[in-house]
Every structure is written in structure tokens, then in C-alpha cells.
Amino acid sequence: MWLDEYQAKNGYAAARKAFADMAEDDIVQTVKDAGLKGRGGAGFPTGVKWGLMPKDESINIRYLLCNADEMEPNTWKDRMLMEQLPHLLIEGMLISARALKTYRGYIFLRGEYTTAAKHLNRAVAEAKAAGLLGKNILGSGFDFELFVHTGAGRYICGEETALINSLEGRRANPRSKPPFPAAVGVWGKPTCVNNVETLCNVPAIIADGVDWYKSLARAGSEDMGTKLMGFSGKVKNPGLWELPFGVTARELFEDYAGGMRDGYTLKAWQPGGAGTGFLLPEHLDAQMYAGGIGKVGTRMGTGLAMAVDNTVNMVSLLRNMEQFFARESCGFCTPCRDGLPWSVKLLMALENGEGREGDIETLLGLVNFLGPGKTFCAHAPGAVEPLGSAIKYFRPEFEAGIAPTRAGELTQVVTPTMVGA
């Protein structure tokens, strides 16, 4: 959708409202009151993140980054938004930039999204020509330049401090926090990093208000608004839908995705991307919001679920996933760099029926050693969450990979005899 059509459908109305009637702090407070949470997977409250930006007016160089380095397996919501509604993202960034007083913004787009890059660049050029980006936007005296930066390809660039390093042209190793990017970000300046979908929520909140936004979610949900949710795998109708928080996973799976294809049954499912744990069909009644999925023991993640059918061996699937995580580890901290390839080695042995006694315990040990709080960033905890849950629910499949001890390899135990007795 290009500028004319977008404006005809009330596009940039929220930006006009924010520029004409709202002070910077009002915008931040509105987003905070609306309860908008980050849509990148971690679910950190956006208003709180914005509130962390320094109040000191003398720091006049600030950056707004849009995290569009979407590489999480089974996540394609941001691609859809950027390809089909590039102006929605630009409007969201424009309002956010005003609220955070950032003079420059970057959309950090992954290199493989060539269509999204084309559409975003065209939309940015259109907005610039219409005076919606650049100097003195909408006569407010506020300047904001927006650039599309295409990355060079690495999963870890989606981690916000790694993204900052990558934008600066360095290796994308995550940085130690604190200091948080709000204090020391790109080129040492205050920086705010938000996901594409998060920023795309901002215009609607500004245009229609907090009460309206809060009324969207289903009863029982603690999260506000709507979320792009999807289902993939061997379901009848794989796809992506904007749904209110709090719908049950069963509704998503049966009504929207149409259930499993003929001849397949649901064995397990993952609520939101590779870094979330596996759940069983009996968990489908969980409500899709952070706390609802939390109740059944994992995280909502990106909200794009994957169905595992009865033909898939969990050990092989996990081997594929851990190969991915091991390859994409930045190699900076030891548990992740050494632990993930080790888990791949063990899983390959189990897959080929060459596992040894104790391998499953070693894997569970790795799940513990690579868990939350033990590594620099969330890469390793995300990598072992599916592994831990797969062993929990499907342990017999892992046990089946342990080779029976062959008699010939047994060491004969000889009882020692006392000399000189």
C-alpha cells in the first residue's frame, strides 16, 4: 500500500494528531498506559523502555532503531508488515521519534528480505517527498531522518546490543548490560531499539486512545491489544492473522489454521518461534498471551506457532534446531560456543542409534548450564528451552537412540586376589 492509498485510509492521521496536540511526554505516557509490550519475543513493556531514555535535554543526538532483522525460525510477521504496509512502520517510527526526541532512525533490515527493502525504500522516499520525513516535519520544527540499513546476515543481529554493534560495522557480539542502550547505544548515544510490530502498534494507540486499545484483548488476558499470530507445519491452512491477545491456541489452530492435514495428527507444538519450548496437544486450551502460555510452562515468544506432526522424530527435529543455534552462536561466551555444538554431537549420536548411557543426562546438564542468566544474551537459553521440554515430554524417543551395550565391549571384572595370602 503506497502513500496515497495509505493517507486515504486515515494513514498519518495519528502522526498529525501526535504532532499537533500532544507533548512528547504525553505520547510516552499514552503508550505506557495502553500497556503496549514489545512484540519481538521478550515482551518488555514499550512505555517503560521509552521512559529509560535520558531526560537531559542537552543530549541532542539520540537514535531510534527498528529491529527488522527477523531470522527467528517460524517467524515472518515483520516481513508481511514491511512488504504490505511500509508506511505504517514509518508512521510508527515518526511518532516514536517525536516522543523520544530522536533526530535519526535506522531500520535494520536483514539482507535476505529483498522485497521488503524495495518497498521500504520506496515508502521512505514517498514520505520524504511529502514532508513527513526530513526537516521541519508537519511544521513542528522537528527533524527526523530515516534510513534503511540492510544487514550482512547473522541471526544474533536480532539481539538489540548485537544489532547496535552490527550497525556500527563491528562483529555483532552482544554487549554487556548495563549500560542499557537507552544510556549508551549506537556510537555511544542514547538509543531505543523496537521491533517492527511494536512500532506498528503505536499509530493505532495514538489515533484511537488507550481505552479503545485496552478493550481489544479477550477476557482473561493480561496483555493489551492485538498480536500477529500464525500457525505453520503440516496444518491445512498455514498462515498469519491479527488476533486479540487471549484467544486460545485451540482457536488459532482449529479455526484459523484449519487443524492438521489429512493423514497427520498433532504430536506437539511450539507457541512462538524456535526459542520457545514444546507443548502437547492437551495444552491447546492455553490462552495466547505471555501469562497464559507461561502457565503451561513456556513463553509466548513471537506468537507464530508451529505444529509438529506424528511423522516427525523429536530427536531429529531437535538435532536440526540445535545445529541452527550452534551455527548462529556468535562464539563470544563459552557456554554457548562450546555447549551448543556438544548438544548437536550428542543428538546426532542419539539420532543414529549410537547414543551412550548418560547422554540424556548430559543433555539435561547442558539445558541447565546454558539456561537463563548464565550467558551474555538470550541466545543460549532460547536454544535449550525446546531441548529441555522435548526431553521432558518425549524422553522415550531419546532413550531409543541409546545403543545397547555389546557384550564384547564389556570389561571383564576380575576380583583381585591378595598376594602372599
Partner 1 sequence: MKIVQKERGWVPDGALYAIGEILGIPASDVEGVATFYSQIFRQPVGRHIIRVCDSMVCYIGGHESVVDAIQTKLGIGLGQTTPDGRFTLLPVCCLGNCDKAPALMIDDDTFGDVQPAGVTQLLEGYP
Residues that bind partner 1 (CB under 8 A): 70-76, 78-79, 111-115, 151-155, 169-172, 230, 232-234, 238-240, 274, 304, 306, 308-309, 312, 316-317, 320-321, 323-324, 327-328, 330
As a whole number of Å, the end-to-end CA separation of the chain is: 96
Torsion angle defined by CA atoms of residues 191, 196, 202 and 205, in that order, rounded to the nearest 10 degrees:
-140
Shorter beta-carbon distance to partner 1: residue 169 or 404 = 169
Torsion angle defined by CA atoms of residues 329, 331, 333 and 335, in that order, rounded to the nearest 10 degrees:
60
Shorter beta-carbon distance to partner 1: residue 31 or 390 = 390
Shorter beta-carbon distance to partner 1: residue 50 or 253 = 253
Residues 6+ apart with CB under 8 A from 72: 41, 155, 158, 273, 274, 275, 301, 302
Residue 222's SS3 state is coil
Shorter beta-carbon distance to partner 1: residue 11 or 233 = 233
CA distances from residue 67 to 84, 105, 195 in whole angstroms, order as listed: 17, 11, 5
Burial of 348 (0-12, 13-18, 19+ CB in 10 A): middle
Pairing assessment for the beta strands 266-270 and 304-309 based on DSSP bridges: antiparallel
The single-letter code of the amino acid at 22 is: M
The DSSP string of 122-175 is: HHHHHHHHTTSSBSSGGGSS--BEEEEEE----GGGGSHHHHHHHHTTS--PPP
- Compute the residue count for the chain: 421
Shorter beta-carbon distance to partner 1: residue 160 or 322 = 322
CA distances from residue 228 to 32, 237, 242, 272, 300 in whole angstroms, order as listed: 20, 16, 4, 11, 12
CB of 133 to partner 1, least distance (A): 24
Task: Using alpha carbons, select from 176, 165, 205, 177 the residue that is nearest to residue 69.
Answer: 165
Shorter beta-carbon distance to partner 1: residue 378 or 403 = 378
Burial of 162 (0-12, 13-18, 19+ CB in 10 A): buried
From CA 348, how far away is CA 355, in angstroms rounded?
A: 8
392: its cell numbers: 521432558
CB of 162 to partner 1, least distance (A): 10
CB of 306 to partner 1, least distance (A): 6
Shorter beta-carbon distance to partner 1: residue 70 or 159 = 70
Shorter beta-carbon distance to partner 1: residue 6 or 76 = 76
Place of cell 542409534: 353
Shorter beta-carbon distance to partner 1: residue 306 or 336 = 306
